[in-house]
Structure formats: structure tokens, C-alpha cells
Amino acid sequence: MPAFIYEKKGRIAYLTINRPEARNAMNSEVWDGLVKAWTDVEQDPDIWVAVVTAAGDKAFSSGQDLKEMAEWMAIPEDRRPPMPLPEVNPMRGMQVWKPIIAAINGLCIGGGLELAMACDLRIAADHAKLGLAEVKSGVIPGNSGTQKLPRLIPFAKALEMLMTGDLIDADEACRLGLVNKVVPYDQLLPEVEALANRICENGPLAVRAVKELAYRGIEMSLAEGLRLEIEVGARLSKSEDAMEGPRAFAEKRKPVWKGR
């Protein structure tokens, strides 16, 4: 069985880590699949939303495959192949403006949480546990964890999670804003797909524009963000979709989006 599965159903792409026997730890095959799929989601005009999840009901991902990493480190330095964890990956350096939803189906720690935080929206099964436990092993969550967690939840709570390495349950993650919603496991994918389909009802270029503005704007001053909003809005106004929306409203029908 492949360690990573990439499928497309209508306007939605599904990225699935398929190593339930290893708590969906990310090995080189998974990384290769993630990088290629992330690129394809960005480039395929027929894909409007992506869903990231994992096989089974035990783990979204336990993070980097430490067994593979130890084997790699045992190879003499002058003969080592490239590191199993690519430097440019979905958590760092690969920006996609299409919305991406994480369906967190269980344990979500270390690199698993970093992957979930690389997504825009997160829905968790009610038995999920989340955290960055690297300090317990004397290392850091160095694939975006130290930077993204404090941007998503209250700073003091992020520091507590980072410094203790303790996990939190799904309800606490929702209360802190780390996940958007918590549902029973058997409702997880239906809930995520319902959210993805609601997003797909909107103008895809507009959805991408608001994502871009939110992510870029949060790093700017308000004045700079407002200027960026005008710039992106002007660009969007020239699209066919921007003309279709008002026309459909006037004609009392559902808009037919073309993504251009």
C-alpha cells in the first residue's frame, strides 16, 4: 500500500497519509507525496479546496518518522542521501492560496500538528490530542511550530505548550482557537466535506484573494494591509467571476463560477 494517497473528487482534492501502522508518521514517501500534492493543488485550475487527513482513527500524524531519521543519521555524512525532511515543504516555503482543511482524525503531535497548522481550517474528531512534544526529546518543533502556534492561540498558552510539550484534547484546542470545530469521529469527513462544499459555492478567485489578504496582511501594518486590499481587489474586479456574481444576483439565479 502507498504511504500517501492523492485523490480528486469534483472540486476537492484529498491528501491522505496512509501509514496507520506507524501512527501516520511522515517518512520520505509521505514527504514526497505531500510536496507534489501541494504543488498540484496550487496549479490545477479544477481544484478549489483541498482536504488533508490520514488513514485510520488513531492518528492524524505522530510527526517525523524517527526510525527513518535515525537510519539516515547512521549513514556516514559524506555518503548520506538528502535528508528525509525536505527544506521546502507545505509547512515552510510552499504557499497555496486555495483553502486547505485539515481533518484531524486522532493523535496530532509534532510534525503532525505543524502539518495541521499549515492548513487554513481544522476540524478535529472528539478523541484527538494535539501538541508539540519535541522538548521532551531535547529538540524543538523546527518546521514552523515555534512560529505558527503563537500566531494561532494566546501567546502564554502557546508558550506553555511549547515549553512543557504537553498535549491538549480536542475541546481545549477548539476553545483556544487551534481548531474550528470538534465532532464525533464518524462525522469528521462528512463535516469537513460539508465545509469544503460551502466554500466551493463561493467565487473561487474571491476565496483565494481573501486568504492571500489575511495571510499577507497579518504581517503588515493596518495601513499597508488596506493598500494591499485595494490592490488585490482591483485585480479581482477584472475577472469574469467578479462580473458574474452581480449579474447572477440581478437575474435571481445561482452564479456559475469559472475561476477566471
Return the bridge partners of 59, or none.
107
Element (H, E) at 117: helix 111-118
b/e sequence 88-106, b meaning 16+ C-beta within 10 Å: ebbbbebebbbbbbbbbbb
Q: Give the residue carrying C-alpha cell 503563537.
A: 150
Q: Which of 7, 71, 87, 134 is catalytic?
A: 134
240 in active site: no
- Positive or negative, the CA dihedral 122, 187, 20, 14 is negative
Tell the burial category of 212 from Cβ atoms under 10 Å away from its Cβ (0-12, 13-18, 19+).
middle
- Choose the catalytic residue: 21, 68, 114, 231: 114
Q: What is the dihedral of CA 30, 33, 35, 39, to 10 degrees?
A: -160
Catalytic residue status for 201: no
Q: How far apart are CA 46 and CA 77, in angstroms?
A: 43
Q: Mind telling me the catalytic residues? A: 114, 134
